Chains A and B, each alone.
Chain A
Amino acid sequence: MADNHHDDHDHGPLQLQYQPALPITIGKLCLWLFLSTEIMFFAALIGTYIVLRWGAPANTWPAPTDVHVEEWIGATNTFVLIFSSFTIVAALEAARANLAARAKTFLFATFILGCVFLGFKAYEYKSKFAHGIYPWGSPRSRMYDKADVYYVAAVRARLGDLRLDLDSRKVLDGTRIDLEKKKALDDQLAEVGDAEHDRIVARLMGKDKIEWTADDSQTLEAALEKAKDDLADKGGWSEHLDEELAEVLRLQGALVRWTEREVALHPNGEKAEAMMMTAGYLVYPLHDFEEYVTSYVEQERIENKDRLADAVKVVAAVEKQLLDLADDAPERAAMVQQLTVAQDEVQLIKSRQELLSDLPEPHGGLNEEHHFLKLPMFIPSGNMWASSYFLLTGFHALHVIVGLIIFALALPLRLDPARGGFLEATGLYWHFVDLVWIFLFPLLYLF
């Protein structure tokens, strides 16, 4: 210090010499400080996930396959990231050996691999959204943690919406088809000559008994088919409308009405729980509940056989009474109503039996069978799973994006030994991103 002071007097401005505390460059030191905060950030995130997952009530955390997490995608992405870690190291080696072109090739490869990773990630997110798995709650997310009355009510609401929608679409399509028919007819009328015109109009007015010629019918049919196709392209006409409507009606009865009625009869009991769990299983079967639901359903089907026999007896009795009644008896109206109710009950039990007759295999279910249904799903801890899955992979993907931006900025540069420090820092950051994924992969995909 004394020397320095002395020098100051002799040579003017104070000359300080930089004494690095650590044997590394400032840039690298800063990056490592940043990485140590990143270690805390990701270790806390991953640790929280582990605590949440193993803190969840036993066996309620969804298995990867239950929530459309595919192992092969995770494994491929692991490979992609490890490979990219290797290429960035290779880029650094090449730059230090003053092989700028080679370094650029490796850096470019790293960039592409990062993009591939993000591409897979986007595909995964999309497939989850398609199945109603969102990180945020309802109405977006269709996951319910418990199969309780709220769950069944949500299924009812969804089916109600569907029915309304299908009904109105059917009316709309009917109207549009009528319009197209009229147009096709007009077109045809415009084409034919006057004599033909009169003939067809007379036919249409019903005044004449003139038969359609084969040609007439064919042209009209073809025009109608084309009209339907055009409508289908515009999302209007659907051949499956009737089928879909029938399915919705069936489920409204055999799934929702049945369940809600039975639950109302046995509130809070084990039976009510089993009924609602079965509803959840039919919509979205989870392996964990297979045994439970199967044994309950066996029981219910035996019960239903008796019920069906009883209901059929009631119908027969009412029918017999009706036959005996005089045509103008005042109680006839009430009796007819009674008959309708009894017949309805027979129908409902039959349809319930049919619904239970083929229990879905795990990962099948009504939602998979009919994609338009998009019914609420019973997945225990599903929402917690989705929140942590999207948070963890989302933050990781964000880091990948930042890395890609840095790579993109570095690509136009000449990667000679002078850029070694920069490439090393970039590489350290990228390896850290890889490191996080090394832990995320087994935790999210394999456990």
Chain B
Amino acid sequence: MSDHDDSNADAHDAEHDESHVGHHGSMKLFVTVFIALIVLTTISFTAANSPLMNNPMVGWSVMMAISCAKAMLVISFFMHMLWEANWKFVLTIPASMMSVFLVLMLVPDVGLRTHRYSESRWRYASEPQEEHVAGEVHIEVSPDVDGDESDDEDEGEE
């Protein structure tokens, strides 16, 4: 009987300890994180409408970096991961790697699907036509009809 009581008490203690251990951070900290998230969102929004988008790759990279920063803030503080033991890596890292592999496996078949289209394949493709000129992809839909400026990549035009 006394054994039983003990184990009950232990379990209760453990739970109490656990909740105590998990109880990091303060409202002040969470408010700070919240404000930081809002500021980052604003920066991201501003970047999308700024000259950074003249070179989309730069704009996109900035926005993705901001998103990653926001994600880290949410994971670390709101999800308390900062204060968890090392089990957090066991659960999150393999999952993240799996998803990266999944996406990488799509690249050859889906991402690069149009790279080896033949002329006739283009004609009947559901996508608008792209022409391969001297190994370079140039868009037939955007350049002038007369053919001048046909080598201009319209990348910068968003």
Known: A24-B18, A60-B128, A446-B45. A289 touches B141 (CB 8 A): yes
Known: A22-B87, A57-B114. A17 touches B7 (CB 8 A): yes
Within 8 A of B (CB), among A248-284: 270-271, 273-274, 277
Is there an interface contact between B154 and A59, defined as CB atoms closer than 8 Å? yes
Is there an interface contact between A421 and B34, defined as CB atoms closer than 8 Å? no
Interface residue count on the A side (C-beta < 8 Å): 78
0 or 1 for each of A129-159: is its CB under 8 Å from B? (1 = yes): 0000000000000000111000000000000
Is there an interface contact between A446 and B44, defined as CB atoms closer than 8 Å? yes
Is there an interface contact between A427 and B110, defined as CB atoms closer than 8 Å? no
Neighbour of A83 across the interface among B25, B34, B103, B139, CB < 8 A: B34
Neighbour of A56 across the interface among B75, B127, B143, B146, CB < 8 A: B127
Interface residue count on the B side (C-beta < 8 Å): 77
Neighbour of A51 across the interface among B45, B67, B110, B143, CB < 8 A: B110
Within 8 A of B (CB), among A12-41: 15, 17-18, 22-25, 32-33, 35-37, 39-40
0 or 1 for each of A42-65: is its CB under 8 Å from B? (1 = yes): 011001101110111111100100
**Chain B residue at minimal CB-CB distance from A47:** B103
Cα A274 to Cα B30 in complex, Å, equals 57
Q: Contacts of A86 on B, CB cut-off 8 Å?
A: 30-31, 33-34, 78
Known: A51-B103, A417-B19. A58 touches B137 (CB 8 A): yes
Query: A90 on the interface (CB 8 Å rule)?
Result: yes
Query: A420 on the interface (CB 8 Å rule)?
Result: yes
Neighbour of A146 across the interface among B15, B126, B142, CB < 8 A: B126
Q: Contacts of B140 on A, CB cut-off 8 Å?
A: 273
Is there an interface contact between B38 and A79, defined as CB atoms closer than 8 Å? yes
Cα A93 to Cα B15 in complex, Å, equals 17
Known: A32-B91, A82-B37, A447-B60. A93 touches B27 (CB 8 A): yes
0 or 1 for each of B57-100: is its CB under 8 Å from A? (1 = yes): 00010011011001100110011100011011001101110111
Is there an interface contact between A57 and B48, defined as CB atoms closer than 8 Å? no
Q: Contacts of A36 on B, CB cut-off 8 Å?
A: 91-92, 94-95
Query: B158 on the interface (CB 8 Å rule)?
Result: yes
Q: Contacts of A212 on B, CB cut-off 8 Å?
A: none
Closest-CB distance, A110 to chain B (whole angstroms):
12
Q: Contacts of B49 on A, CB cut-off 8 Å?
A: 71
Is there an interface contact between B154 and A24, defined as CB atoms closer than 8 Å? no
Query: A426 on the interface (CB 8 Å rule)?
Result: no
Q: Contacts of A35 on B, CB cut-off 8 Å?
A: 91
Q: Contacts of B5 on A, CB cut-off 8 Å?
A: none
**Chain B residue at minimal CB-CB distance from A43:** B99
Neighbour of A424 across the interface among B22, B56, B94, CB < 8 A: B22
Neighbour of B154 across the interface among A270, A288, A442, CB < 8 A: A288
Query: B51 on the interface (CB 8 Å rule)?
Result: no
Cα A145 to Cα B127 in complex, Å, equals 6
Cα A299 to Cα B98 in complex, Å, equals 54
Closest-CB distance, B142 to chain A (whole angstroms):
6
Q: Contacts of A271 on B, CB cut-off 8 Å?
A: 145
* Stretch of A161-169, A290-298, A346-354, A389-397 with 4 or more beta carbons under 8 angstroms from chain B: A290-298
Closest-CB distance, B96 to chain A (whole angstroms):
6
Query: B112 on the interface (CB 8 Å rule)?
Result: yes
Cα A277 to Cα B142 in complex, Å, equals 11
Cα A51 to Cα B25 in complex, Å, equals 38
Closest-CB distance, B87 to chain A (whole angstroms):
4
Closest-CB distance, A410 to chain B (whole angstroms):
17
Is there an interface contact between A54 and B111, defined as CB atoms closer than 8 Å? yes
Known: A25-B15, A438-B74. A145 touches B128 (CB 8 A): yes
Is there an interface contact between A55 and B112, defined as CB atoms closer than 8 Å? yes
Q: Contacts of B11 on A, CB cut-off 8 Å?
A: 18
Cα A288 to Cα B85 in complex, Å, equals 51
Query: A431 on the interface (CB 8 Å rule)?
Result: yes
**Chain A residue at minimal CB-CB distance from B75:** A435
Q: Contacts of B112 on A, CB cut-off 8 Å?
A: 55
Neighbour of A145 across the interface among B99, B126, B130, CB < 8 A: B126
Q: Contacts of B41 on A, CB cut-off 8 Å?
A: 75, 78-79, 82, 441
Is there an interface contact between A446 and B143, defined as CB atoms closer than 8 Å? no
Closest-CB distance, A369 to chain B (whole angstroms):
24
Known: A431-B78, A434-B74. A288 touches B99 (CB 8 A): no
Q: Contacts of A431 on B, CB cut-off 8 Å?
A: 74-75, 78-79
Q: Contacts of A56 on B, CB cut-off 8 Å?
A: 114, 127
Cα A292 to Cα B145 in complex, Å, equals 7
**Chain A residue at minimal CB-CB distance from B130:** A57
0 or 1 for each of A94-138: is its CB under 8 Å from B? (1 = yes): 001000000000000000000000000000000000000000000
Cα A50 to Cα B103 in complex, Å, equals 9
Is there an interface contact between A295 and B144, defined as CB atoms closer than 8 Å? yes
Cα A47 to Cα B105 in complex, Å, equals 10
Is there an interface contact between B100 and A43, defined as CB atoms closer than 8 Å? yes
Q: Contacts of A318 on B, CB cut-off 8 Å?
A: none
Q: Can you add 15 more A-B contacts, CB < 8 Å, to A431-B78, A447-B60?
A: A55-B107, A57-B127, A57-B130, A58-B137, A71-B45, A85-B37, A146-B127, A288-B142, A291-B144, A292-B142, A292-B144, A431-B74, A431-B75, A435-B75, A439-B71
Name 7 interchain pairs, CB-CB below 8 A, sorted by A.
A36-B92, A43-B100, A43-B102, A52-B111, A96-B23, A421-B19, A441-B41
